[in-house]
Structure 1
Amino acid sequence: MPVPPAAPLSPDWQLRVRTLDGGTAGAGVLVSPRHLLTCAHVVCAALGVFWEEEATPRPEEPVLLDAPRGGGTWQARATVLEDGWFVDRSPWDAAVLLLDRPAPAAPPEIRRCGPVDRPGRTVSMVGFTHDTAPAGVWSRATLVGQGGGRRFEYVQLDLESSTAARVVYGFSGSGVREDPGGALIGIVCQADHDETGLGVRGWMIPVEAVPDVWGRRAAPLSGASRRDPGPRAVHGLAVAVARTSTIAEPEARRAFYALLDARFRQRLNADAAPLFFADRLVRLALEHEQLEEVLETLEMLEEGSLSMRRVREAAEVLWGQ
């Protein structure tokens, strides 16, 4: 009897970062449909640049990405955002990149790691350690506490058993997935090796330590925040939205308007002044509990602009009230 073909993997939100000669530099994780979070040292490894914390300038050359975890032949290039390079400030070994084409998968659910004060809290990771296993190898670990060199904002991961896949080259930038559920709570950034050279523990950068990454995909912190945001925060978000080029420029605003849900278009005037349009848009989005969806549409058109990052900061203030 013929063996049926294996079912293809569904595209995953963890991508692989390639070196110039086609090797593996590490991994990266989607934090929006067009943005990737990875380690700064992974970007440097991909480009053949020496990485030195607090000293390496932001690389301007793009890195090559692919998606061996169910992405088929998908490939893309990604460039570090102007304000997405943190080697001289917290969280230090982190970089946010803009993809030059849409990702092959949706971004994951993102959760704050929060304080590491619950014993036995487990996580999972998948690393691209062998070309013979392109979809990656899995490892499970337990969160221990803050640490990692002199960076107290990192979180230590101890492997659960001696037989688990060790944290070695190829795990850097990999998503740390909360158990159960698989939500993204951080990325692997460092490893500690035993006498055999195998990583027996590692450290991760929590998502909330990376400026704007949490805000870019933030869910409201509580139901109350969604139901009754303060008027000052609503106004602040409307002002930030009005200052984006998509809303400030009439033609771009009409293109954005055409992408909105019909419920919004019926109650919006695309030719209104930018601030009036933005204020009405924000209030409608809150009313329909669609603010994140609206911001993602705006972000798709803004493509990593500084004004869009100000929108995300304003949205985070609103949800944090």
Structure 2
Amino acid sequence: MSTSRELFWSIGELAERAGATVKTVRFYSDQGLLPEASRSGGGHRRYGPEALERLRLIRSLRGLDLPLPEVRRILEDEDTSGRALEDAVAGRLRELGSELRTLRWREAALKLVRECPPAERAERLRLLGAVSTPPSTAGPARFWRGWLPPRMPARATAAFLEVAVPQPPDAPEPEQVLAFARLHAMTTAPCPGGRQPQPEVHRVAGGRGAAVLYAGLAEAYELAGPHLREARAPYPGEALDAYVAAYASAYGSRDTREFRRLLATRLAAGPRLDRYWELTALVLTPPGGRPEPTPGSSDDWLRAALERDNVATA
């Protein structure tokens, strides 16, 4: 009898050994997560050492905030180094990352409201109220899908959106939150006349030609990037040649002096998105940081280089 009492514990004894409450042990037992060794003559549950180890494991997993269904799958896997545990931990880490990102954005938004002049608070609250938390890039993406030619190949559209739509920082400063809220308001506001203006080159090139155009522009922007980072004045060179070549291909023309003069005129007359790129730079750059080149700032640099080249060769 003494051996039996040492090997098998009542629900209260198991709870005491595990440092848990009887209510907790009963709950996990009712859920089928704790193995019963036997029942007493009066029908009371008796537990062995394996139940104590199982209970300690359950409490460890629950202490990591893993939900009960995930705990059950891990216990059924019968191996704490198995795939079930890895998947559960990875999933919870993803959830926590999203929760932390949400909290950081809310903290920055609260600071933004707290630190602004009282007369501006209503406007800032209106802007912030229109943005989901964590923020979504769906608004800017829809804006660009309306800008691009409708028959542009999906792969080319996705490549363009990747560089044109700024990804909100995970730990933003208040100024970055405000810039993103303004960007969201700009890209979701109704367009004058119900349709977004588009460059004339979209009509000429069509969807597939526009794909070639934007692939060429991406190369030119990449070449211009180091010049912008080093704050060099615009000048003709490899980046400008790639820029002009992209437009020449879209227009079915050649890179000649006459084409460069004509291109400068066409670009000057086309729609501008300066405000979009200004806000994008603010979203991507923390206060006091060095602005990273955007397609907008790269395009401005290349247009200025084109003007300088045309003046030099006039």
Q: Which has the higher helix share?
A: 2
Q: Which has the higher strand share?
A: 1
The normalised TM-score by structure 2 is 0.23
Q: Which has the larger radius of gyration?
A: 2
The normalised TM-score by structure 1 is 0.23
